[in-house]
Amino acid sequence: MNRYLVAVLGLLATVVGASAWAGVVNGSAARVPPYQARGATEISTVGPLAASLQGKPLVVRIHASWCPACTATQPTIDELQAAYTGRINFVQFVVTNAKTAATSQALARKLGLDSFYEATKAATSTVAVINPQNGKIYATLYNDGNLEDYKAAVNDVLDALKTASK
């Protein structure tokens, strides 16, 4: 009897895991911050940020070449960069393998983004829009292919930077 129970529980775990993965791949999980989903503490600020990042909204992405969600959202990220050429700072942390992850970790430390990197390095396809003045994270988007979501967050930071400079 116990063998059957173990088999049924194993099958149930497989089905639940597959349906959760399908939600991530098709974008239905786009509004769930991945670090909350993993039970870690949500971060709402980072910093202090490097001087090279000041003056423009900062868009930070966690990317891996093997990640289906990263591949699916790449065109949106490319559109965002094109739409805001010269008006945003863009940083991408590549976590495809141990070597790229180590390079990304060093870059995060250099830029003052180490707390963000540590909290999200396992959550590929995460993008954060950050105000560089105070390190406030205005939006964390996960597997989101909607360009307007990114633009809204970037525009909010642009407005905040404009207001702060007055």
Q: Does residue 24 lie in a domain region?
A: no
pLDDT for residue 18: 46
Of the two residues 17 and 82, the one the predictor is more confident about is 82
CATH code for the domain in which residue 95 is found? 3.40.30.10
Q: CA–CA separation, 156 vs 52, rounded Å?
A: 20
Single-letter amino acid, residue 157? V
Per DSSP, what are the bridge partners of residue 75?
none
pLDDT for residue 7: 55
Tokens of 6: 């173990």
Tally of CA atoms within 13 A in the half-sphere of 84 that contains its CB: 24
* pLDDT tens per residue across span 68-102: 999 999 999 999 999 999 999 999 999 999 999 99
Q: What are the E-state strand segments in 24-159?
A: 58-63, 89-94, 126-130, 137-142
Q: Does residue 10 lie in a domain region?
A: no
Number of structural domains the chain divides into: 1
Q: Does residue 79 lie in a domain region?
A: yes
CB 127 within 8 A of CB 144: yes
